[in-house]
Structure 1
Amino acid sequence: MVSRPAETFTLLSPRHRLLAGLTLALSNFMVVLDLTIANVSVPHIAGNLGISADQGTWIITSYAVAEAICVPLTGWLAQRFGAVRLFTFGMLGFGLFSLLCGLSMTLGMIVVCRIGQGLCGGPLMPMSQTLLMRIFPPEQRGRVMGLWAMTTLLGPALGPIVGGYISDNWSWHWIFFINLPIAALCVFAAMVLLPPVETDRMKLPIDYIGLALLIFWIGCLQIMLDIGRDHDWFGDPLIVALAVLAAIGFCVFLIWELTEEHPIVDLRVFRHIGFTSGVFTLALCFGAYFAGIVVIPQWLQISMGYTAAWAGLATAFTAMTAMLVAPIVGRLVSKVDVRLMISTGVAWIGLMTLWRAHWTTDADFWTISLPQLAQGFGMPLFMIPLTTLTLGSVRPEETASAAGMQNFLRTLAIAISTSIVLTGWGNGQRVWRNEVVGTLHGDATMADLASRGFTQEQARQTVGNLVDAQSQVVSMNHVFFIAALVLFLAAAVVWLAPRPTGNVDRSAAH
């Protein structure tokens, strides 16, 4: 084990720090962009490979499962191999599997390569955060967290725009090929710039049973969430079996990891009320926030006639205002109670979500975009101070495990939220369609349309389209209303945490 000075930032010149910081920010942007860039391209990929749309969802599922499994292992991997080495090989593997994804000609090959992408990409987001904190001195870390938050917000917002444009104008293969020059640049820069801030390595025993249990229960849960909507949820024995296996696996995993001397995932960090309330707030907020990320682009394309690129653009305004506010929030973190900042930011996002709950089918582009634009002011207030709260609530030696668990719960919350929101939206559409049909004066409406020159079939189709459009928007508004209530709850939960005291050592935040 190599001993290194605690203040690693002293080993780098200001120019060296700037170049390294830009490299890490670019790598984080690439990884978070890939979370959403493939989503709008699934129909193109499915059509090109000659598979059904349901089979095409495995392209998304395989990546999500692999990433969800790998993220909580990041702390252990960084201690075992070193943060810089883990980052470099993760980026190299991500680039290689991106190339193979783009070259794939069968469903089996692209699924296997997406699993490789998820396994390599999972540690990159927390590792970029870790290394940024090690590169910059304490007085600059608030602003650095602002930069990191900006890339984290911008990537998912631009994903649908970039993915939609590439799929419509080039070929779906290029949504993977565009990663190659970025990955190559980041690997080269990491090898040149980051060795001075490498972390110590320890030969840790491998908890094989804990690892197997982790893979088992997360895999069962993620697959259940992804295919549940297409299999009528618990009306299908397969979904019931997956739910039972996930629950049993989770319980056995908890027991094993809490009693294992060298657990692969340290669950003991949950004994700190500050950490627990912070990550619970994180899970609630990200789950509710992603209700809009999931529903709005689909509604715009299905009901409002938007292209994939324009639907992505309408949702991207959040990132634009967030980028303006993030540097300011970074400077305020050390001066203002972080609980107040988080609570204010989450409540603001809740108000913007409540604003959306009054949309109609007459909404124009700016009616849809303005709540997104205003929401961006609250996002940095939530994301940046939360790291200070959660990591400031655990012991310094537990920071790596706490940060890994925080990233894992965010990923899990997004997966669960996506399934719940899409199911609730679909069920709501059926309920409200029946309600709307029950209030229509069918004969009078058909007669009126006939008098305007519509044939009976055209009149029936017109009425059906209007009913579908209204049921979709009303159901979506109810989803937003529930999401707003969840956000207001999250804004209150954060006050269960005691105020962090002293400086937070985020340099170990794997």
Structure 2
Amino acid sequence: MGRFALLYVILFLHVLDSSIANLSLVTIARDFHIELHQGQWIVTSFGIGTAIAVAMGAGLSSWAGEKTVFSYALLASALAALGCGYAGSFAEMVFFRIAHGLASGCIIVLGQRLVLDAVGPARRAFGLSMWTSAVSIAPVAGPLAAAAILEHLSWHWLFWMNVPVIALAMLLLGDGLRFTGAAWSARPRLAPFALLAVALVSLQVLTDAIFAPAGGAAAPWAAVALAASCALLARRAPRGEQGLFQWRLLANANFRLYTTIIITVNAVLMATMVCYPMWLQTGYGLSVTDVAWVVAAGGLIAGLLSPVLAKVKVPGLYPLMIAASLAVFALSCWLTVGVWPQSGMADLMLPRIVLGFGLALFSPATFMSLADLPEKDSTAAISLSMFLRMAFANLIVALGVRLSQLLGGHASESLLAQGYGSADGGVGADVAAMLAQLQLYADTSAMHDLFAGACVVFLLLMGLAWHAIRALAAARRAAAPAASPI
């Protein structure tokens, strides 16, 4: 049981890291003297590393063993966390965040299997429920932990706090995670993973550069690197080498439908989780602690409600729950559009609380995506789904942050054209106060536009899901053998 507790703490810590950095974007951007919107790289670079780890995890564990890969991933995670804390420039921070995501991704991917091994076959359900609890509780604990650190220490400790916990866990786990040896001839080919890394980084740079106000001088180089890496990846497939993912699984209509829903929902929610805390700190002027409570409200509801809904073991209700969750997500976005700088804390928290109900209702989506697949394909399907989820989320986060910047600039120009910004416009004669007020309303308008767009996306997804679910059900009924007459 002690080994299980250590593995749980390790898993929880690395799931926590994906939510703890959001509150630090404003502080880190200020310390590195970069544009606020460039801070999204702290989130997306971690996502790039995680996406690559999802692709590498299975091959590495087949070669060296799960415990071996887990051991070295722990060591790499500690070193990368140190590097993030000691980074002397923003470029170094991005590099170490990719490395940190790569190590954390391997730990998260392999951790579930090691947790199940630790509890034994008889307690498999308990192990799965505890693994799920780590995923559910982290969005609550992450912002609150980040707020406590940022209020009393520097942002560097957001990363340094990982190191002593990981070091202690490695010492206590001991021989259970030592290198057991592997056949060198069975080692995975690293070239495809390197090409995948180049493709993901190039795509992220290209997306960011295209929407950069300065015009994006890096766009041509990123486009060339992206095209070259994709071409080389495509050329390797016909030579019989094992692909990074089993794309054939997308031929399954049920898996394709729910995977599309999952990756879209995850991407939009991640984008809002980056933009909303930024606005709360810079536009609304909340303290880091208050922002943490607002952001954590949804995670708290989801964490409390998800175990209750998990007891509903009626697959026939799952499609209805997922469709309802999409409607609740849309409602949360609509409520956020009604938030203004004069709104109270209750108004700020209400959309996040509603979002928590949506997250709890959305929990059967992964099960539904795998429902029509053979058991032997479940691991490959989860790997493919997680990769698509992370890669697409990175793009949407970059687009959302950049679009909010562009929308804010457009709103500022529109307000000036309407007469705001002068003594007659009602903003005030003091130039500094005038500009601050103008920027506040411009940023708020941009946030409203983004959440209105997210609301439309969720409503469209709900319609698509409802139509596709009915079509799949009709196809199953038609394919079912007719009942024999008595």
Q: Give TM class, smaller chain.
A: 0.7 to 0.9
Distance 1:483 1:76 in 2: 36
1:124 lines up with 2:103 in the alignment: no
1:406 matched to 2:385? The reply is yes
> Is 1:421 paired with 2:404?
no
Instruction: Provide the residue aligned with 1:377 in structure 2.
Output: 357
1:165 alignment partner, one of 145, 148, 162: 148
CA distance in 2, matches of 1:226, 1:441: 31
Q: What is the distance in 1 between the residues matched to 2:101 and 2:421?
A: 52
3-state SS in 1 of match to 2:338: coil
Q: Matches of 1:443 and 1:108 in 2, distance apart?
A: 41
1:103 Cα deviation after fit = 4.8
Give the distance between the partners of 1:141 and 1:257, measured in 2 at CA.
37
**Residue in structure 1 matched with residue 372 of structure 2 by the alignment:** 393
The equivalent of 1:176 in structure 2 is: 159
Distance 2:119 2:369 in 1: 20
Q: Tell me how far apart the structure 1 counterparts of residues 453 and 242 of structure 2 sit (CA, whole Å).
A: 41
Match of 1:187 in 2: 170
Partner of 1:91: 74
Number of positions where the alignment pairs a residue of Structure 1 with one of Structure 2: 468
Whether contact under 8 Å (1:147, 1:327) holds in the other structure is: no
CA shift at 1:60, angstroms? Answer: 5.3
* Letter matched to residue 290 of structure 1: M
- In structure 2, do the counterparts of structure 1 residues 250 and 487 end up closer, same or farther at CA, with 3 Å as the change threshold? farther
Answer yes or no: is the 8 Å Cα contact 2:70–2:106 preserved in 1. Answer: yes
Task: Give a deviation string over 1:294-318, Cα, whole Å, max 9, x none.
Answer: 1211111111111223212211101
CA shift for structure 1 position 139: 9.5
Task: Say if 1:443 and 1:94 are closer, same or farther in 2 by CA, change over 3 A.
Answer: closer
Alpha-carbon displacement from aligned partner over 1:406-433 (angstroms, at most 9, x marks no partner): 2212211221121111122122222222
Q: Which amino acid aligns with 1:475?
A: A
Distance 1:136 1:285 in 2: 32
Of 20, 34, 38, which aligns to 1:53? 34
Equivalent position of 1:434 in the other structure: 413
What is aligned with 2:479? none
Alignment pair present for 1:214 and 2:193: no
Task: List runs of 5+ in structure 1 lacking aligned partners.
Answer: 1-15, 502-510
Q: Is the 8 A contact 2:40 2:398 kept in 1?
A: no
Structure 2 CA distance, aligned partners of 1:128 and 1:187? 14
Q: Letter of the 2:413 partner, please give it.
A: N
Query: Aligned pair in 2 of structure 1 residues 229, 337: CA closer, same or farther (>3 Å)?
Result: same
CA distance 1:322–1:398, change in 2 (3 Å):
same
Aligned residues: CA RMSD? 3.6
- Report the CA distance shift for 1:292/1:65 in structure 2 as closer, same or farther (over 3 A): closer
Q: What does 1:118-267 align with in structure 2 at a 5 Å threshold?
A: 118-132=101-115, 145-188=128-171, 190=173, 204=186, 206-226=188-208, 229-230=211-212, 232=214, 235-250=215-230, 252-254=232-234, 256-257=236-237, 260-267=240-247
Q: 2-side partners of 1:285 and 1:331: how far apart?
A: 23
Secondary structure of the 1:331 match is: coil
Aligned to 1:339: 319
**CA deviations over 1:372-409 (Å, ceiling 9, x no partner):** 11221221321x32221233333333322221222212
Distance 2:164 2:457 in 1: 41
TM-score (norm 1): 0.79
Structure 1 SS opposite 2:311? helix
Give structure 2 stretches of 5+ with no counterpart.
Answer: 477-486
Separation (CA, whole Å) in 1 of partners of 2:113 and 2:323: 25
1:473 matched to 2:436? The reply is no
Structure 2 CA distance for aligned equivalents of residues 385 and 297 of structure 1? 28
Q: Distance in 2 between matches of 1:117 and 1:153?
A: 21
- For 1:213, give the aligned amino acid: L
Tell me: CA distance 1:373–1:108, structure 2 relative to 1, closer, same or farther (3 Å): closer
| Aligned twin of 1:353 | 333
Report if the CA contact (8 A) 1:143-1:331 is conserved: no
Offset at residue 320 of structure 1 (A): 0.7
